[in-house]
Amino acid sequence: MSAASPRPQGVLAIPAFRRLWIGLGLSSLGDWLGLLALTAMASSLADATYQKQNFAIASVLFVRVVPALVLGPLAGYIADRLDRRRTLVMGDIARGLIFASIPVVHTLQWVLIATVLIEAITLIWLPAKDATVPNLVPRHRLAEANQIMLSTTYGSALPAAVLFILLSLTTKALHSSLNWLEDPAALALWFNACSFVVSGLVISTLHEIPRGSALATQGRQGVFQVIFEGWTYVAKTPLIRGLVIGITGAFAAGGVVVGLGRVFVDDLGGGDPGYGLLFASVFGGLALGMWRAPQLFRGVSRPRLFGLSLILAGVALVAIAVFANLVVVSILSVGLGFCAGAAWITGYTLLGLEVEDSLRGRTFAFVQTLIRLTLALVLALAPLLAGLIGRHRLRVNDDAVLDYNGAAITIFLSALVMVAVGVYSYRSMNDKPGTSLRSELRRSTMSSSAVYADRGLFIALEGGEGAGKSTQAHRLEGWLRQQGFDVMLTHEPGDSVVGQRLRQILLDPQTGELDSRTETLLYAADKAEHVERVVKPALARGAVVVTDRYVDSTLAYQGAGRDLVSSEIEQVARWATADLRPHLTVLLDVDPQVGLGRFDNPDRLESEPLAFHQRVREAFLSLAAADPAHYLVVDARADRDEISRLVQQRVATLLSLAERQTRAGAR
């Protein structure tokens, strides 16, 4: 059988997430279209002088930041306090109505007031949206969901620009032929209003969003106490603190590039084409990093990848400031964007995974407020610092001179800050202090040596304690036998003569504490006997082998649970099984607090503390996320019949070869 099995449907196949994505796409299109239309209308409403037109546009851009300065701390509290579905729906409809009113009132004062109102609503809408995504997709699909969400948010800028041009031309044509719609931006604003209203109507169908307030259990706390609690959580949690500082530092350095990019390119002799090339390189790299970095660095844990991406982005920015060549700078800008995209998607995914639901809205709002404030400060100070430094020329000798300008020096200083922030984030978020980064990078670049049986079908059921693996294994066996297949139902540890003795040693509470390496080697010995005596003979005759636990359990329990070096554990386990891989691994995912509550007399492993089992769960999910083509992740809290249906549906796509072999054997 081929190693490649049909890939599962993408995260957009989840109906609830797909509807939220459609709503986000319409809202993002409205945001970009609104920015273009509002600045255009502000310019046309100002007096004809060049100075007043620029002042009107600058006023619109400035008042977009004002709500973050005033309402930023309250936005997260409001997002967590209100029902999120209602917040998203009413927020979109309210923004649509305000946009629709702007061409009707048609004054510069109302443009500015409406901008403040729209941005204030957006401040609450965004953290409510960000906090909702983790509730709609499985944990192992959150990175993919964030990739789609962020790409949609930033990718809407181009179609919004094209749409604005078309609507502006249409407005001019209507005005010249019918003397209607004098302001070129009016039609764009009304179209924009419709996009927000439609977005709200789409999101209103999302009944999967948990009802009520995320703060329902904290109703007696005051507003400032709740806000302070959220900020304290960020400050006292090393991983979240490293994330927030890293994201803020990255945007600070990015703000320096945005603020000084035009002057910097002029210093390189690039002019407007060079400026366009620079930004195309940065944003092209950003998109590439969001889409490809998680796959390229699949062997590196997310916390480490976040800090590493920031460090590499800082190094790229240092090189950009040093090399005074537009071609070289453009190439380096792609690398800068790639690293920034990797950090952004990784950071957002970690926030969704690590922050509990009751704190998620406040945390996202806190991050967004810091980003806006940092950008506002940097955009104001960077040009000032560059101007104070000025342009200088140092003559080295008669034939050589050294030019150093304020823009390049300021970018260089911001790059050093980014490197320092990256180092801090990496050290505070390092979740594998015993594993070298080099080994994880090597694992990412190594081609897989996986072996898939060319006869029979090999299926493994994995998951934490109390996930229901044994129940579903027996159900799958019964279903397959009803289909007429030769089935071998087996388990680890203990389904061989030697394995029975090893199982008693490994799971009996009377065994007491074992050295972690000893435990790993005993499990490896069981696997070697199991594969050689049970699994391979069954596959050789064309049977369907269903095993309750396999290599993933060793990687999760001994690698993550015992906190040993994961690459070493994997090497031992793969060697013991001759790298034989299941054609499909079904991961029954369950919260350890739920699963452990299903046991009255726990064995030696079930008796481990909760933190141990939480690490095990995260390891299982990471393995599934790294190779989705060969995994099916099912929520173990679902009804048993529903779980069986999902498993059977996926296994059915793999049965063709086993069916042919069974029929051939019958002949």
Quote the CA–CA distance of 214 and 447 in Å, as a whole number: 44
Query: pLDDT category, 622, cuts 50, 70, 90?
Result: confident
pLDDT higher than threshold 70 for residue 395: no
**C-beta separation of 468 from 594 below 8 A:** no
**C-beta separation of 223 from 359 below 8 A:** no
**628-659 per-position pLDDT tens digit:** 778 999 988 889 999 999 999 889 888 865 55
Quote the CA–CA distance of 8 and 177 in Å, as a whole number: 54
Name the phi and psi angles at 182, rounded to 5.
Answer: -70, -40
Q: Where are the alpha helices (DSSP H) in 46-65?
A: 50-63
**172-218 per-position pLDDT tens digit:** 777 666 655 666 677 888 888 898 899 989 988 888 777 766 554 44
Residue 473: what pLDDT?
94
Q: Where are the alpha helices (DSSP H) in 268-301?
A: 271-296
pTM: 0.58
3-state secondary structure labels for all residues of 632-665: EEEECCCCHHHHHHHHHHHHHCCHHHHHHHHHHH
Query: pLDDT category, 666, cuts 50, 70, 90?
Result: very low
CA distances in angstroms from 274 to 157, 412, 571, listed in the order given: 21, 20, 50
Mean of per-residue pLDDT scores for the chain: 79
Residue 406: what pLDDT?
80
Residue range 15-35: mean pLDDT, rounded? 84
**26-75 per-position pLDDT tens digit:** 888 887 788 778 877 877 777 656 566 667 766 776 777 778 767 766 77
Domains of the chain: 10-214 (1.20.1250.20), 219-446 (1.20.1250.20), 447-666 (3.40.50.300)
Chain position carrying tokens 């607090």: 593
**437-447 per-position pLDDT tens digit:** 776 777 666 55
Residue range 579-589: mean pLDDT, rounded? 92
Quote the CA–CA distance of 71 and 7 in Å, as a whole number: 45
